[in-house]
Amino acid sequence: MSAVRKPPQVFSLGDELQVQVLLHNASAQNLRLTLIDELPDQLQIRDQRIPVRIAAGEKLALEYGLRPTTRGVYTFGNLNLFLQTRYALAERRLIVDHEQDVAVYPSIVQMKQFALRAHETVLVGGQRRPRPVTKSYEFDQIKEYVRGDDLRSVNWKATARRGELMVNKYAVERAQRIYSVIDKGRVMLMPFGGLSLLDYAINASLRCLIVILRRDDRAGLITFSDKLGDVLTADSKPDQLRRILKRCTGSGSGRGRATTTYSTMPPGVFCPRGACSSSSPTSRAIPPWTECSPSCAVSVAITPWS
């Protein structure tokens, strides 16, 4: 019996993403088992038990959703398979060493949705108004004067050389430096809807910054609390978005791993004691069982794979 976990490359803060577990029964017997995945401590999901029936030689793909609510690095532990006999008279525990680290970035899903709309153009009655015509000082070319041109842009030197009225033509200014300023103060750590106010501010800033980069402007980031924090100079390089994400991932709350421990738990469903501690995943022990809150539910989808 073998098991492989395939989480996403990165998690998106506040968005539910699917984690896949591939099971392969290479034996000649039909098996009934219970899968317990050692989930990251930050999630505080303590009641995950996935019952599975798998035929001889069959391959199954299990999927369950996770919604991270803090930024940082999430560490998955081992995969624990409890194999049962036909009449459940005996049970064998199989541990699959499968530790993995997955980074949790600000909401990438929402950011991509806004990125797809960055170049939308609406002709009439649309959601976005056209850019207003304003005075620009970014020189483009010199052209002949036509009725309606601004007389203030007459190029007298070119007029003297050509013997006819010439005017300077200016292009719409691009590559403007736009900064997103984020407050990391104590008030921003207040929770709302499962996330902190700081997380909402970071998600909203990223939506704006990716649109700014797609429209050929320069995006930068400034964070502060009681003193100046990160300062990322506005730029439009291809890796600018990655640098912004890296700065946002480590800003304020959610940095690193969780250190919170729970000494008492209300009565509820039974779960492994090791899943309730914040110690290293390698030191987790599955039995004996303790009681914990049944507030976290995990939905599982089972499909065959080849």
**199 vs 207: CA distance, rounded Å:** 13
More confident residue, 226 or 136: 226
Query: At residue 253, does pLDDT exceed 60?
Result: no
The single residue listed with the structure tokens 């609510």 is: 69
Query: At residue 272, does pLDDT exceed 50?
Result: no
216-235 average pLDDT score: 89
Domains of the chain (ranges plus CATH)?
A: 2-105+259-304 (2.60.40.10), 108-129+174-249 (no CATH), 138-171 (no CATH)
Residue 80 pLDDT grade (very low, low, confident, very high; cuts 50, 70, 90)? very high
CA 281 to chain centre: 23
The single residue listed with the structure tokens 């806004």 is: 114
**53 vs 300: CA distance, rounded Å:** 13
> For 187-221, how does the pLDDT look when each residue is reduced to its tens digit (9 = 90+)?
888 888 778 888 888 888 888 888 888 888 889 99
Three-state DSSP class for residue 37: strand
Query: What does the mean pLDDT of the chain come to?
Result: 75
**125 vs 129: CA distance, rounded Å:** 8
In this prediction the pTM is 0.56
Q: Which of 247, 254, 173 is nearest to 205 (CA)?
A: 247
Residue 107 pLDDT grade (very low, low, confident, very high; cuts 50, 70, 90)? confident
Q: What is the pLDDT of residue 304?
A: 62
